């Protein structure tokens, strides 16, 4: 999940490459680099760490050129060193790569045996070396790339630059996304529309297996078999891609505090104007023709599926299976025409989720995607794509995408219940009323921030933290733990409250805070008993509940955070706010890099 950019420009491309890399930094920030064809030939600049380091290198040793490629890296093969930073050069070829060349070892050995000298530990360098080898055999750049692509196994988005050719760039994709951008007498390639949003709004997405030969004033796309093909040009909404932090210190808080408004937007998109019924603008799936739903995703999006399982089963009485995409895709699960499969992804590019989609396509009765990026691979390949309308999410840790995924799931559960005869018109209206109150309740939940800041001061001192929840709040415990881990680097685990006594309770002592998500619902008293078990062993409980819950169960707890009273149906959406803000404030207390936590990337396009 690296980011790549390529520009065939009319003026010096260095500043444009750097600004495109800034927009791609969410894909990885272990190192960055650019290669340009200038008056003196090909020049490369690379630096480890964030883009600011590359900017410093460029200031000390400027380069210029009319065409260039750039890369921001999330390391897979080889440590984040300068030698492993892209672009990789072999003879006259420079290459940037996103993905993994799985058979790079035998290819590398083959090329070393031929006398080629490798300078990095990456899988990517083999792309440049193999191309250079074919060029030495007398092939043209186009033929050398075509011959190379036939040798690769794995996933890639590639951009090639050739010394002595300042009006040529070659791009290829298999498994990783890539788009061509069209300018006036300029041509671009980029990992996504966001990368290109600074230079153009005219985009041609490459299909799986495509490769393309680009000149400033023309281009030709070829399919995987080498046949010339036409791919449509689309116009992207640049305004929707404009992002800044507003008055916030981090994108993360901006995105957390945006939730009431984006939630209102997401909900209104899927409700009739009078808010009396569910309305799916793309055409409603017919849940009455399915015997089972299979929900698949990764990370936070998977926890959204986990909450949705409770909703679909309880409200629509339809069996639901959930799995993380990295397991699902390899366990060859039986899928048939009476299954609907729902894939969930903020980016719409997560490699495992995309592979899961491709596995079920043609087997399932319907393949539905819940996505934030409407032009993404997952959106384009699903039978039905339902946008969550969260707007661009920049912070690596997902927040508003999660709650908007829940919003879409909630309306689908109501729809399914209606279609399956489990809910009458009145019942539908009553659940919708509850959903419509969510933005207001989220707003109220955000007002509890001061109590969360106080709690976070203590949490920041802990080495381990546990999260507990029951029913649909159990996935929230998992999400709270994930958020805390990725933002603050404190070890955290989420458990179903009733599961604690089956082992994890051994961890409890006065140094391990236990955060309990416990709205007053049918299972409240059981959760309180589990809390008592923790406190009886010296555990420090932070109770997150409504006023009634706090009145009934605060005795003996270390701290309390008061949430608004809300119906159990919508509680998992509202309780996402403390899950996110506790992690955020613990991280700022510790001084970690909130928007770009170590080792992570926003879009995970490798397996």
Binding site for ligand M6R (CB under 6 A): 298-301, 345-347, 350, 353, 396-398, 486, 603-604
How wide is the angle at C-alpha 572 spanned by C-alphas 570 and 573, nearest 5°?
Answer: 70
- CB-neighbour burial class of residue 164 (10 A; exposed 0-12, middle 13-18, buried 19+): exposed
Q: Is residue 305 annotated as part of the catalytic site, yes or no?
A: no
Tokens for 279?
A: 């309305």
Query: What three-state secondary structure class fits 289?
Result: helix
Neighbouring residues of 523: CB distance < 8 A, sequence distance ≥ 6: 470, 471
Alpha-carbon distance of 15 to 65, in angstroms, equals 10
As measured in angstroms, the least distance from the Cβ of 123 to ligand M6R is 21
Of 536, 573, 568, nearest in space to 549 by CA: 568
Alpha-carbon distance of 315 to 472, in angstroms, equals 13
How wide is the angle at C-alpha 434 spanned by C-alphas 561 and 544, nearest 5°?
Answer: 10
Neighbouring residues of 436: CB distance < 8 A, sequence distance ≥ 6: 267, 271, 275
Tokens for 311?
A: 């909703």
Tokens for 335?
A: 């899928």
Of 577, 582, 558, 592, nearest in space to 456 by CA: 582
Question: Is the alpha carbon torsion for 368, 373, 378, 382 positive or negative?
Answer: positive
As measured in angstroms, the least distance from the Cβ of 233 to ligand M6R is 26
Report whether 202 contacts 208 (CB < 8 A). Answer: no
Alpha-carbon distance of 471 to 564, in angstroms, equals 19
CA distances, 541 to each of 452, 535, 586 (Å): 14, 7, 16
As measured in angstroms, the least distance from the Cβ of 395 to ligand M6R is 8
Of 17, 56, 55, nearest in space to 36 by CA: 17
Of the listed 2, 298, 404, 566, which one is catalytic? 2
Alpha-carbon distance of 306 to 406, in angstroms, equals 10
Residue of minimal Cβ distance to ligand M6R: 299
As measured in angstroms, the least distance from the Cβ of 345 to ligand M6R is 3
As measured in angstroms, the least distance from the Cβ of 299 to ligand M6R is 2
Of 337, 382, 339, 338, nearest in space to 357 by CA: 382
Q: Is residue 363 annotated as part of the catalytic site, yes or no?
A: no
- CB-neighbour burial class of residue 274 (10 A; exposed 0-12, middle 13-18, buried 19+): exposed
Q: Which residues pair with 43 in a beta bridge?
A: 36
Q: At what angle do helices 438-446 and 425-436 cross, to 10 degrees?
A: 30
Alpha-carbon distance of 30 to 15, in angstroms, equals 20
Tokens for 416?
A: 């399914």
CA distances, 43 to each of 32, 67, 80, 186 (Å): 14, 11, 21, 20
- Count, residues in the chain: 607
Which CB sits closer to ligand M6R, 125 or 192?
192
Alpha-carbon distance of 427 to 521, in angstroms, equals 19
Residue positions annotated with a catalytic role: 2, 602
């Amino acid at each position: 999940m690296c980011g790549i950019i390529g520009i065939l420009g009319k003026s010096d491309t260095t500043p444009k490459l750097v600004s495109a890399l800034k927009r791609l930094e969410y894909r990885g920030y272990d190192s960055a680099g650019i290669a340009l064809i200038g008056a003196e030939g090909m020049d490369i600049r690379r630096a480890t760490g964030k883009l600011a380091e590359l900017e410093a290198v460029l200031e000390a040793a400027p380069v210029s050129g009319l065409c260039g490629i750039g890369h921001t890296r999330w390391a897979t093969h080889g440590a984040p060193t300068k030698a492993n930073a892209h672009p990789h050069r072999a003879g006259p070829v420079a290459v940037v790569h996103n993905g993994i060349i799985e058979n790079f070892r035998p290819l590398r050995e083959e090329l070393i045996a031929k006398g080629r000298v490798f300078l990095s530990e990456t899988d990517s360098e083999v792309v440049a070396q193999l191309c250079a080898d074919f060029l030495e055999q007398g092939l043209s750049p186009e033929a050398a790339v075509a011959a190379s692509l036939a040798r690769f196994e794995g996933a890639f988005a590639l951009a090639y630059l050739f010394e002595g050719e300042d009006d040529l760039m070659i791009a290829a994709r298999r498994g990783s996304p890539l788009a061509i951008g069209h300018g006036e007498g300029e041509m671009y390639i980029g990992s996504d529309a966001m990368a290109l949003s600074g230079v153009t709004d005219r985009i041609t997405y490459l299909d799986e297996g495509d490769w393309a030969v680009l000149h400033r004033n023309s281009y030709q796309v070829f399919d995987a078999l080498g046949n010339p093909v036409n791919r449509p040009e689309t116009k992207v909404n640049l305004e929707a891609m404009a992002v800044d932090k507003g008055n916030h210190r981090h994108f993360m808080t901006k995105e957390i505090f945006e939730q009431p408004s984006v939630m209102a937007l997401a909900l209104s998109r899927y409700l009739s104007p009078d808010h009396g019924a569910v309305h799916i603008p793309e055409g409603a799936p017919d849940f009455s023709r399915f015997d089972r739903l299979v929900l698949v995703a990764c990370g936070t999006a998977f926890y959204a599926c986990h909450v949705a399982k409770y909703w679909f089963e309880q409200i629509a009485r339809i069996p639901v299976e959930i799995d993380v995409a990295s397991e699902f895709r390899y366990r060859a699960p039986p899928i048939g025409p009476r299954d609907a499969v729902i894939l969930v992804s903020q980016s719409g590019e997560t490699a495992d989720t995309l592979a899961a989609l491709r596995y079920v396509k043609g087997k399932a009765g319907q393949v539905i995607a819940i996505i934030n990026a409407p032009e993404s691979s997952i959106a384009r390949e699903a039978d039905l794509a339902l946008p969550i309308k969260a707007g661009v999410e920049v912070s690596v840790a997902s927040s508003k995408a999660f709650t908007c995924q829940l919003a879409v799931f909630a309306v689908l559960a109501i729809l399914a219940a209606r279609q399956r005869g489990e809910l009458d018109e009145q019942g539908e209206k009553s659940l919708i009323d509850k959903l419509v109150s969510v933005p207001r309740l989220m707003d109220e939940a955000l007002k509890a921030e001061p109590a969360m800041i106080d709690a976070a001061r203590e949490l920041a001192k802990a080495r381990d933290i546990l999260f507990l929840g029951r029913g649909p709040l159990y996935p929230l415990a998992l999400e709270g733990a994930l958020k805390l881990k990725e933002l603050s680097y404190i070890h955290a685990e989420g458990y179903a409250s009733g599961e604690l006594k089956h082992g994890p309770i051994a961890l409890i002592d006065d140094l391990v805070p236990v955060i309990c998500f416990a709205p007053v619902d049918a299972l409240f008293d059981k959760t309180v008993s589990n809390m008592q078990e923790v406190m009886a062993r010296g555990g420090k409980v932070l109770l997150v509940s409504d006023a009634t819950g706090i009145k009934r169960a605060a005795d003996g707890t270390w701290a309390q955070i008061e949430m608004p009273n809300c119906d159990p149906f919508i509680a998992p959406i509202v309780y996402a706010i403390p899950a996110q803000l506790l992690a955020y404030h613990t991280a700022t207390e510790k001084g970690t890099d909130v928007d770009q936590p170590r080792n992570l990337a926003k879009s995970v396009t490798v397996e």
